[in-house]
Structure 1
C-alpha cells in the first residue's frame, strides 16, 4: 500500500464530479481512446456501431481506472511536484479511499462489460493493461528504476491491440506492430517531458532518467529509441499490411520526428528547453496523425 503522506489533508472537502473526472487523467485518456478506436476501425471485419461504441467505452473506463489507481498510490509523490499538486488527492479535495474504490470499481466494470459485449480475449488484454500500469509501472518500477517508463510504457501500448481484438477476437501482426510502435514511442516522448520537468522528479525522489543518469545520457537514449520506433511505424507498409496512404504518412511524419529527436539528442542544454518541448508536443501529434492515416488507409482501400 502507498505510504500515507502527512501533508495530505486529514479532513478533505467533499469531492465533486470534476474531481472524479480529474482522477481519470483526461488528457492521457484522449490518446488512449483514439488509438483504441483506430485499432478497432483498422480491423479487417465490420463491427456493429453499438458494439464498437461499447468496446471504446470500456477502453476509456479502463484507462480512467488505471489513472485513478495511479493517483491513489502516488498521492505522496503528486504533492511534491508542482505539475501535480492540484490533483484531487494532494489538494485535499478527496479521500484516498474514494479514489481507490472508484478505480477498482471502474476497472472491474470495464473488463466485465468488455467480455460480455465483445469477447473475452479483448477483456483479458484490457485487464492485463490495467494491472500492468498499476502493479508493474506504478507500484513496482516507478520509484525503483530509471527504466520505469521503458518497461511501464507497455501499458499505454495495449489500446490498439484491444480495439483490434474486440473486433476480431484475436491478435494479428498489424496490432502487434502498433503495440510495438507505441511501446518504443513512449521513452522519447516521456523523456522529452522529463528533461524540462526533471526538477519536479528530483524533488519527489523519482528516479527518472534525467535525474539519475543526467541530461546527456537521456538525450542519447531519446535518439536511440527513435530509430526502432520509426522502423515499427513504417514496417506495416512494406509488409503489405497497409497501403500507400499510411505508408507515405508514416515516412513523412517519422522523418520530422527524426529531425526533432536529432536536435534534442545532439544539442547542449539550455534553460529554455525549447527543442525538448517541441519534440514532446510533436510526439503527441505524431501518433494522432499516424493512427488517423491508418484508418483512412483501411477505409479508402476497402
Structure 2
C-alpha cells in the first residue's frame, strides 16, 4: 500500500471518491477532514496511484499507542476490487492485528472478505450492520464543486420559530469538553475511560450541539466524529417527546450547510424512534448500509 501525503493527490482522491458516494462515505468523510486540518492525525493508503482500487484511512502510528483502544485504532475502507481485499487487509503493515481495533465501511460484501481475513487471525470479532442515512444533496455531491455542498434541510424555519416560542426556557448551545463525561455516561457504546478520551477529542476537534435547560445543563445533544458522521445523539428520558432532538439536528444540519461540510448518519435497525427522527429532518435510507467490525485479540479477552 502507498501512503498519500501530497495535498494535490489527496484532493484528487477526494474528488474521485465523490463518484462512489454513498459507498465511499467513510473514507470520503475522513479525507475531507484530512484536507481541512487533519485534527485526528489520520493518513491515507491506496493500493496503487493514480489508478487505485482500494482506499484505507487510519490514524498515524504515533496515535495508536494504546493496544486496547478500539475507539482510536479505527480503519475506514472503500474498495472497487473485493477479490484483492483479503490479501491487503491481512497484511500487518496495513492493519495492526495485535491491537484491539475497529474497521468501518459502507459496502455490502465487505463482511465476507473481512471474515476471510479474521479466520486466520487470533482475534474475536463483533460485526454490526446498521441502516445508513444520507441527505439527497450528499448523493449528488459529485455534481457540485468539492469545496461547496448545498444541504436541503427539511425542517422549515417556521417550525423552528414555533418551537422556540413554546420552549423559551431552553436554549441551543455548543458542547464543550466539560460535557464529555455526560455524553460518555449516556453513550450505549461508551461508558469507559477510552470512550471518554475519544469523546473529548471529538469535542475538541468538531462542533457538537446541545439544548440547555433553564439551569444551564445539557438535556439533549448530538456530536460529529472524524469521518463526518453525526453520532451519539441522546435526550435525557425526562425531556423526551418535546421535539428537542429534531431541533438540535436541524440546527446542526444548517451549520454544516453554511460551512459546506458533508455529513451522514446511521440508525440501528430496531430503533424506530431514530428512524422517524432521521426521516423527519430529510435523511433517507441507502441500501449499502453501515458496517462495523470490532476486533479484539484473543490474548486480550
Structure with the bigger RCO (C-alpha within 8 Å, sep 6+) is 2
Normalising by the smaller structure, the TM-score range is under 0.3
> Which is helix-richer, 1 or 2?
1
| TM-score (norm. length: structure 2) | 0.25
> Which is strand-richer, 1 or 2?
2
| TM-score (norm. length: structure 1) | 0.25
